[in-house]
Structure 1
Amino acid sequence: MNRIALLPGADVWESIVTEKYLNQLRQMGELVVNTLPGAPSKERVAELIREADFAITSWGCPAFDADVLRDAGRLKLVAHAAGTVKGIVTPELIERGIRVSSANDALGVGVAETALALTITSLKRMWELSQSTREGTWEEGKEHIREMFDITIGVVGAGKAGRHYIRLLQQFEVDIVLFDPIVSVQEAVELGCRKVEFEELLAVSDVISIHAPSIPETNHMFNAKAFSIMKDDAVLINTARGSLVHEYELAAELAKGRFTACIDVTEPEPPSLDHPFRKLPNVILIPHIAGAVNNGKQRMARHAVEEIRRFIAGLPLEGEVNLQNLHVIA
């Protein structure tokens, strides 16, 4: 019988894995559950996976190093019920040929939907009009509203979230341009957009949505030079990682009132109480809610369960991570 180890602290997995998914796991094999709260120690994880064929990880789980894997001779798959797997993958895990799956696709759904919501509400000026109507006005500011029609939307990064955002945009009459060095011109066409260089995307886009990974090559790619190229009255949306944006150079540009920024992620989180993002009227600052919140977390449980089911059936894994490409993925 297959053995499945659910490794995150009980306080973590209880918000992700409902009874529905626990029952589905029990139908596939013997389920061993970490009943302790808090981030599990390496010793605890090593104990739980000793006879396990499959492990489900999430936030707070330690790296699968030699000590953790020492007695895990049966382990075949780690299904990560969260996004990046960089915190759990080690050379030892790779050397053993243990496959790893990420729930980035499940997370990407929420990120893309949030980016779309920010796109529409910002173009419609809902944030500022809501505030002004509370203050007693009605018509003032409506002349600045734009619709999802005949505008250009720039997407930076065609990972899971970026691709889903592009799919959602297909429902609107907008032009979509993409900057992603890994995506070919033909692949971009198949996705429903046009591949461009970064500078062109900055210059032509009415809305720019960031979906690139946080890697050395993308650190502060949105900086003073980039902001100077952007259109007046543009909308910049960051639901990716705070490291991609030079926050104080962005704040300086926003202080000129040229464009609007919708910020879901900062570096660090939360931003300091005196951070300019908290005060500028053309910043929509939300507390990292784009990925998976409350019931949205259960998408990650479903993904992990389905990946184990696919593995057992000998089917391709939908979220398998190419462990040789960790340096270019989120």
Structure 2
Amino acid sequence: MRHRPEALLVMRRDTFGVQFGHLQLDRLRSLARLGDPVWSEDLDEPSTRARLAEAEVLLTSWGCPPLTAERLDAAPRLRAVLHCAGSLRPLASEALWQRGLLVTSAAEANARPVAEYTLAAIILAGKKAHVLAAQSRVRPADWSAVQHREDLSNYRRVVGIVGYSRIGRRVVDLLRTLDTAEILVTDPYADPAEVAAAGARLVGLDELLRRVEILSLHLPALPATRHAIGARELGLLPDGATVINTARGSVVDTDALERECAAGRLDAILDVTDPEPLPPGSRLAALPNVMLTPHIAGSLGTETRRMADHALDELERHLDGRPPLDAVTHEALAVRA
């Protein structure tokens, strides 16, 4: 008979309420034993500490406090931390890796809505829909003027993907639904054969920037990636190119992008910014050729249950002695979100 470990969910109240519906909780109860409280966002509260002392598995998500050495010492039976969200950075500590625990992430499940959003942004960029929408509010009678423009097209566009991450890979796959001329990828860690098999071509960053009409960014926020797309890189893009950022705001130099968009040379679709949100009175936010959305590309609402399901898949595999789907190591965290 399969062992049912003691499990504790650690996340914000609102996250727990959205991520774990009755289907997820029923499945969790079939796999593990849940005490009282089932959920907590405070690992230092006395009743939670009592549960932590018995916990063999933590299911964590947004709002989980850092798993410090002192908190981990209060969980001597702990064997696995299964994260029901993407990045582990807010909760990971050196002590987490020293304990030799199984640590997994639901980043793969979160990649799907981000890639879907990015594809939609690429399609809108091809038609300059975000720019025309702003213009149409000011000049609603001028619609006929756009009908003969050759640049409003998704046919044979050159699209550039910076970062062949799990999201970048999904975007390349989704782009196969479009009749793009070429998909260019740049990533120092990518395998050229793997990229080619996906229908794209691996090139250097400068070559990619000089050729693409739509640039989509999929880099993690790391010290090495801060302002990876700065004034020099933006200057290499052709006139009329669109910059799409669904990754992290810090990978783009905001001031440099503002200058290019204000001049009308580049357009942008930004789901993330640096800072986030942009300050009141931001010139970038007011530009008609810049579309801003409030960090909505990733999993929201019931989409987050896909990540809870992923964590429950990891739990079931762990209990069956099967390898994890998406284990995270200390070394891997250095190059991923």
Query: What TM-score does the superposition give when structure 2 sets the normalisation length?
Result: 0.92
What amino acid is the match of 1:312? Answer: L
Aligned residue for 1:160? 166
Aligned positions of 1:59-208 closer than 5 A: 59-133=62-136, 135-142=140-147, 143-174=149-180, 175-208=182-215
Secondary structure in 2 matching 1:31:
strand
What amino acid is the match of 1:140? Answer: A
Aligned partner (choices 279, 286, 295) of residue 302 of structure 2: 295
Q: 2:125, 2:214 within 8 Å by CA — same for their partners in 1?
A: no
Structure 2: distance between partners of 1:82 and 1:209: 23
**Unaligned runs of at least 5 residues, structure 2:** none
Do the aligned partners of residues 302 and 94 (structure 1) sit closer, same or farther apart at CA in structure 2, a change above 3 Å counting? same
Q: 1:46, 1:69 within 8 Å by CA — same for their partners in 2?
A: no
| 2:293 corresponds to 1:322 | no
Do the aligned partners of residues 64 and 46 (structure 1) sit closer, same or farther apart at CA in structure 2, a change above 3 Å counting? farther
Q: What does the per-residue CA deviation read over 1:273-324, in whole Å, with 9 as the maximum and x for residues that have no partner?
A: 1111221111011110000121211111111111111111222222211222
Structure 1: distance between partners of 2:136 and 2:159: 28
| 2:18 corresponds to 1:15 | yes
Residue 88 of structure 1 deviates from its aligned partner by 1.6
Structure 2: distance between partners of 1:22 and 1:12: 14
Report the more deviating stretch, 261-270 or 315-324: 315-324
Secondary structure in 2 matching 1:121:
helix
Q: 2:103, 2:327 within 8 Å by CA — same for their partners in 1?
A: yes
Secondary structure in 2 matching 1:56:
strand
Q: What does the per-residue CA deviation read over 1:91-111, in whole Å, with 9 as the maximum and x for residues that have no partner?
A: 221111101111111111111
Report the more deviating stretch, 162-171 or 135-144: 135-144
Secondary structure in 1 matching 2:34:
strand
Aligned positions of 1:207-218 closer than 5 A: 207-218=214-225
Aligned positions of 1:24-63 closer than 5 A: 24-32=27-35, 34=37, 39-43=41-45, 46-63=49-66
Structure 1: distance between partners of 2:205 and 2:95: 37
Structure 2: distance between partners of 1:329 and 1:130: 35
Structure 2: distance between partners of 1:326 and 1:103: 14
Residue 130 of structure 1 deviates from its aligned partner by 3.7
Residue 61 of structure 1 deviates from its aligned partner by 0.9
Structure 2: distance between partners of 1:164 and 1:33: 40
Aligned residue for 2:271? 264
Residue 246 of structure 1 deviates from its aligned partner by 0.7
Residue 49 of structure 1 deviates from its aligned partner by 2.7
Aligned residue for 2:231? 224
Structure 2: distance between partners of 1:309 and 1:23: 13
Do the aligned partners of residues 179 and 192 (structure 1) sit closer, same or farther apart at CA in structure 2, a change above 3 Å counting? same
Structure 1: distance between partners of 2:266 and 2:16: 40
Do the aligned partners of residues 209 and 42 (structure 1) sit closer, same or farther apart at CA in structure 2, a change above 3 Å counting? farther
Residue 90 of structure 1 deviates from its aligned partner by 1.6
Q: What does the per-residue CA deviation read over 1:33-89, in whole Å, with 9 as the maximum and x for residues that have no partner?
A: 65677x424456644332122111111111212111113222221111111111222
Residue 169 of structure 1 deviates from its aligned partner by 0.9
Structure 1: distance between partners of 2:36 and 2:133: 47
Structure 2: distance between partners of 1:270 and 1:238: 14
Residue 181 of structure 1 deviates from its aligned partner by 0.7
Residue 133 of structure 1 deviates from its aligned partner by 4.7
How many correspondences in the alignment?
Answer: 329
Q: 1:149, 1:173 within 8 Å by CA — same for their partners in 2?
A: yes
Structure 1: distance between partners of 2:277 and 2:36: 32
Structure 1: distance between partners of 2:222 and 2:9: 29
Secondary structure in 2 matching 1:154:
strand
Secondary structure in 2 matching 1:173:
coil
Q: 2:105, 2:328 within 8 Å by CA — same for their partners in 1?
A: yes
Q: 1:8, 1:34 within 8 Å by CA — same for their partners in 2?
A: no
Identity rate, percent: 33
